[in-house]
Structure 1
Amino acid sequence: MAPKNPARDNREARERLRLYQARRGLHDRQRRRRVRDNLVGAGALVLVAALATGSQLAFAGSQGNGSADASASATATPTPSASATAANTGDVPSKEIAKGATWTGSLTLNGSIDLGIELDGAKAPQAASVEISLIKEQFYNGTTCHRLADSDGLKFLQCGSANGDGTGDAGFQYGPLENVPEDGVYDEGTIAIARSTSPYSQSTQFFIVYGDTTLDGSTGGYTVVGKVTSGLSELESKIVDKGIASPGDDGTGEPKVATKITDATIAQEK
């Protein structure tokens, strides 16, 4: 595994966030321009209609009638926070983006591991909308999958932090939790949103479950936003089976095989 370069990684993270925000800004300006043009067009139609109506009234009268940075974590033992604020922070993408539809695409790791993905805009409209926005704006390209769990009943790969080490986001955090398994079991193939203690601390990080996993639901569980539809066996053979570099107290840690998202695509299913 290549040695880390914190200065370079931080520069890349800042540049990635800057580009993401710039793209979001352009998108917002284009949206506002469309809204403005629509309003101008609607105003013109109203004016024409009013003039026409006025002409009709005048004619009739003449006839005599008259809208953190937090380190999100997928962990079996999250610690509840009594001071957690139940509110979105920052510029959270609209939950209308998903349109209540199914979205399909791909997630490429290390340039060669292709995962087919599916996002559920009906069961998790807010989370799906955020993921769609992040993927379309290429936020994930170049980000690191920094955390691997490979013990019995705990099998996931966590990705998507802006800084590549479990910290950083895209300038927003959101809630509420959606589509959470009642029994705390996250089936093989599940894609869920990572978070810290607050249900409103969801942001850019997510985890891919490559084997049935049980997580503590005492703080509410984790939003299931979709699933991996293909490629899990390749993920296991090329990354998971190589192990964890330095497991922490909970047995999770950075994969021995340095893992990055090199491409991501998404589109509404027809």
Structure 2
Amino acid sequence: MATNQQRREAAKRKLERQLVRRAEKAKRRKIVGAGVVGGVVLIVAGLVVWIVNSNGSSDTPAAAESPSSSAAPAPSATNIPTQRTALPKRTKALPNPTTCSYAADTKPSSKKPTVPDGKNVPSTGTVTITMKSTQGDIPLTLDRSLAPCTVNAFESLAKQGFYTDTICHRLGVSGLQMLQCGDPDAKGDVTTDGRGGPGFTVPDEFIDGMKYGRGILAMANTGQPNSGGSQFFMVYGDAELNPQYTIFGSISDEGLKVLDKIAKTGIGAVGQDGMTGEPKEPVKFTAVTVS
């Protein structure tokens, strides 16, 4: 039979073995836990890298195409005003006749119209032009006293049939309520439309106090001085724009009704600005008359 001393020593050895086993278990748990944490960190880091490389870079096709994708909802026409915006007036009449200079433009164009004659251009009177479109007729009144060189160029292009069979490629329905047309090479593609011209440029003809709003007809440009061409825009509503687009006429009540209808139909594919884009219903000029 074991003595009390032997029993105490045996109990002590048993306790020491238990403490050793507990320490080993705790060590194993710590190692496993560290491994799990490390694995989770690596997985999370990998996910972050994958997300950045696949979606966050502006160089990816998804980012480049996002303005025209279905994920970006097209804005709808709201709060179209009914009040017309008055045409500006010159404080001093221009010489009549006047001389216009139409510089050559290197932008490619599928149409090669004759450059208008810039000599003895009248600066008084009006020209009535009707843009017959697939959505209805849009009569315009061009005012020579506002912009004789622009009116002369537009009238020349219209008489040459330049605008016939071209489309209106850009519609704005909110903030900038207008329809832009006149690109001879527009095909209904928001990524390429809006770059074409007639092969020459039209000089700027600004007037102090120019404001854009319902009923105003104005020339589009590239943002550079004297860079107008064949593209123009018809404002049917609000248009808070800087006074850097030549105003050269107005849109009839009949034409505004057609523009209102086009605007209410809405935008199809949205362009790069995220606000304007192709009209949902195509607008094509089938004929243009000048009187």
User: Which amino acid in 2 is paired with 1:173?
Assistant: T
SS in 1 for 2:269: coil
Q: Identify the residue that residue 255 of structure 1 maps to in structure 2.
A: 279
Q: Alignment partner of 1:253: what SS? A: strand
Note closer, same or farther for the CA distance 1:173–1:251 as it changes in structure 2 (3 Å cut): same
Of residues 268, 282, 286 in structure 2, which corresponds to 1:245? 268
CA pair 139-229 structure 1, distance change in 2 beyond 3 A: same
Aligned equivalents of 2:284, 2:122: Cα separation in 1: 26
> Structure 2: any 5+ residue segments left out of the alignment?
1-104, 109-113, 187-192
Distance change in 2, residues 1:135/1:95 (3 Å): farther
Distance 1:102 1:95 in 2: 18
How big is the shift at 1:204? 0.4
The SS at the match of 2:225 is coil
Displacement of 1:104: 1.3
Residue 95 of structure 1 contacts residue 125 of structure 1 at CA under 8 Å; is this kept in 2? no
Give the distance between the partners of 2:253 and 2:139, measured in 1 at CA.
Answer: 5
**Match in the other structure for 2:181:** 159
| Partner SS for 2:224 | coil
TM-score (norm. length: structure 2): 0.55
1:233: which partner in 2? Answer: 257
Seen in structure 2, the aligned counterparts of structure 1 residues 187 and 259 have a Cα distance that, compared at 3 Å, is same
Q: Which residue number in structure 2 is paired with residue 118 of structure 1?
A: 141
Map 1:30-109 onto structure 2 (within 5 A). 68-70=105-107, 91-94=115-118, 96-98=120-122, 100-109=124-133
* 1:196 matches 2:222: yes
Cα distance in 2, alignment partners of residues 166 and 180 from structure 1: 25
Q: Spell out, residue by residue over 1:75-129, the C-alpha distance to the aligned partner (whole angstroms, 9 max, x if none).
A: xxxxxxxxxxxxxxx945426444522111311111x511121001111000000
Cα deviation, residue 178, structure 1? 1.5
Residue 144 of structure 1: CA displacement? 0.9
Match of 2:169 among 138, 146, 158: 146
Identity within the alignment, %: 36
SS of 1:198 mapped into structure 2: coil
Which of structures 1 and 2 has the bigger CA Rg? 2
2-structure distance, mates of 1:197, 1:234: 28
**Secondary structure of the corresponding residue to residue 268 of structure 2:** coil
Partner AA of 1:258 in structure 2: P
Cα contact 2:268–2:278 (8 A) shared by 1: yes
**Residues 95 and 126, structure 1, Cα contact 8 Å, conserved in 2:** no
Return the letter of the residue paired with 2:257.
S
Q: After TM superposition, which residue ranges in structure 1, 4 or more long, deviate above 6 angstroms?
A: none
Give the total of aligned pairs: 174
* Alpha-carbon distance between aligned partners in 2 of 1:198 and 1:130, rounded to the nearest angstrom: 19
> What is the CA distance between 1:255 and its match in structure 2?
0.6
On the 8 A contact 1:95/1:130 being kept in 2, the answer is no
Aligned counterpart for 2:199 among listed residues 167, 171, 174: 171
The residue type equivalent to 2:181 in the other structure is C
**Measured at CA, do residues 169 and 244 of structure 1 come closer, stay the same or move farther in structure 2, by a change above 3 Å?**
same
